[in-house]
Amino acid sequence: MSFCLSLILFINIFNPKPEEMSFYDFKMKTIEGKEISLSEFKGKKVLVVNVASECGFTPQYEDLQNLHEAYGDKIVVLGFPANNFGGQEPGSNLAIQQFCTAKFGVTFQMFEKISVLGKDRAPLYAWLEKESGKAPNWNFCKYLIDEKGKVIAFFPSSVNPLDEAITGTL
C-alpha cells in the first residue's frame, strides 16, 4: 500500500498535468521520425500550423515558406500534417514531405502526421486548445506562441501567414 502511494506521489510530482505544462515541455517527432523537444525553440516566437496537402488552403504552404525565409530570425514555423478535416491529408509522412518539397520548396520544420481533434488528438493540440480556448476548425489554423512559450493568438485558416495580424507581432 505504501509503495502504491509513493508511486502515485512520484508520478504527480514528476509528471506535470497538461494545465501545468508549457509549450517547451512537449516532444514531437519530425516528419523524418526524429524526436525533438520543442524547448529547442525557446526565445523565439513560434507559429504552429495544422497542414494538409489536398485542401483549398494548401497554397498557404508557399506563404508559410515565405514567412520562414523572411522572418526566420524572429519566428519559427512548425507544420503538423493532420487528416482530421475532410480526409485532406491522406498520404504517408514520406508522401507529405515529398509533396511539400517538390510543390512549395518547404524548408521549415515539418512533423509527423498527427490528429489535432478528438480522443486521439496529440497532447500538444489538447494543450493549445486549453491555453487559447480555440480548437482548430479546419486545416491551416495557426497558433502563435511567444518567446516564453505562451499562446498569444489563434488565427483561423482564412488568415494568411503573411497577414499583418501575424507579421505585425514580429
Q: Please say if 55 is a catalytic residue.
A: yes
- Catalytic one of 4, 55, 100, 141: 55
Q: Report DSSP letters for 81-149, one per residue.
A: EB-TTTT---S-HHHHHHHHHHHH---SEEB--B--SSTT--HHHHHHHHHHS----STT-EEEE-TTS
CB burial of residue 50 (10 Å; 0-12, 13-18, 19+): buried
Which whole-number Å values give the CA distances from 31 to 90, 96, 100, 166, in the listed order? 15, 8, 11, 25
Residue 10 parent element (H or E): helix 2-14
Residues annotated catalytic, as ranges = 55
